[in-house]
Amino acid sequence: MKSIIKNTVLTVILLIAFKSLAQKDPLYTQYYNNFNLINPAYAGSQESFIATANIRSQWSGEVGSPKTQSVSFHTPVGYGLGVGMSIINDNVFVLDETHLYADISYVVKLSEMYTLAFGIKAGGSFLNVNLLSLGIENDVLFSRNINTFNPNIGTGMYLSSNRFYASLSTLNLLETKHYNKKNNIISSASDEMVFYFSSGYLFDLNENFKIRPSIMLRTVEGVPVSTDISANILWLDKLEFGLSHRINTSVSVLFQLRLTESIKVGYTYDTSTFSYSNFNNGSHEFSFIFNIKKPQNKF
């Protein structure tokens, strides 16, 4: 009886984890440092070579809690073209998924102030579910690990000026199915198509301080819309701090410091706004941004 209860509990946990990972695409609190992860049109839009490393620990202190690491870069290459690449690793309980994608974008100059970029993202995900590590014997459900590769593509548009931006993109256009329940073995869940919309504006408060309010919407079929509302204060382009609220989910404090002309570091602390926050130490996110300015592209 104890064995049956144990296996049932683990099965429920795995199903929850499968659903969580299958619907989980890069969603950082400091999303403005990782825009090319969710919108390929952003690649090369900043007229700089930008490399970013990001580490996020969700629900810190909980065994098997989600952890995400990413490394990405993007740069203009001339004549309105931009390229980028990203590697993202997600780990939840016994699930491990590594995403590898390349981006290409093309920028159209609409006026002296505004540009509009179009982008395509292509690549795929390597998925590993280490069921054997659970040590459950005589149960076909846990009798073998799952290892698959799932190709996918995404697309997006990015409208921007020196002060304003609006971003619209979608990932997982192929809606890959990674699991099927066959011969009593769970082998199916899906990456549903995900849509992102974000916009923000930079206002001058005085000659030293600026404020940047922004919003991010994320929607996927069968899941409530995720909405982030943020406001960051910038001081002399050296220090940035602010607050972010993911509606019905979390509240975050953001901090970013420019160490040199080319290097910035950032930290975010998230705390949940529901009762589960009593059982963990919040979420921590660190980012490292390396930025080298390039000569302006020709269009």
Give the per-residue pLDDT at 283: 86
Pick from 59, 76, 57: nearest CA to 67: 57
Q: Which long-range contacts (CB under 8 A, 24 or more apart) does 7-16 make?
A: 7/136, 7/139, 7/141, 7/142, 10/134, 10/136, 10/142, 11/141, 13/93, 14/93, 14/94, 14/131, 14/186, 15/186
Tens place of pLDDT per residue across the chain (299 aa): 445 444 444 444 444 444 444 444 556 777 777 889 999 999 988 888 999 999 988 766 666 678 899 999 999 998 899 999 999 998 887 788 999 999 999 999 999 999 999 999 999 999 888 777 666 766 666 667 778 899 999 999 999 999 999 999 999 888 665 544 444 444 445 567 899 999 999 999 999 999 999 999 999 887 889 999 999 999 998 999 999 999 988 899 999 999 998 999 999 998 887 655 555 678 899 999 999 875 443 33
CATH class of 2-293: mainly beta
Q: How many CA atoms lie within 13 A of 131 on its CB side?
A: 23
Q: d(Cα 280, Cα 94) in Å, to the nearest integer? A: 19
pLDDT tens figures, 92-144: 877 889 999 999 999 999 999 999 999 999 999 998 887 776 667 666 666 67
Q: d(Cα 18, Cα 223) in Å, to the nearest integer? A: 15
Identity at 71, one-letter amino acid code: V
Which of helix, strand or coil describes residue 160?
A: strand
pLDDT tens figures, 22-35: 444 556 777 777 88
Give the per-residue pLDDT at 120: 97
Q: Is 254 exposed, middle or buried (0-12, 13-18, 19+ CB in 10 A)?
A: buried
Q: Cα 110 vs. chain centroid, distance in angstroms? A: 29
Contact 281, 262 (CB under 8 A): no
Pick from 79, 89, 69, 77: nearest CA to 43: 77
Contact 176, 163 (CB under 8 A): no
Q: d(Cα 20, Cα 220) in Å, to the nearest integer? A: 12
Question: How many helices and strands, by DSSP H and E, does the chain display?
Answer: 2, 15
Instruction: List the beta bridge partners of residue 218.
Output: 196, 226
DSSP E strands, 110-222: 115-129, 146-160, 164-171, 194-201, 203-204, 209-220
Pick from 151, 225, 228: nearest CA to 191: 151
Give the per-residue pLDDT at 139: 64
Domain range list for the chain: 2-293
pTM: predicted TM-score of the whole model, two decimal places: 0.81
Query: Per this entry, what is the length of the chain?
Result: 299
Tell me how crowded residue 200 is: count the other CB atoms within 10 A of its CB: 19
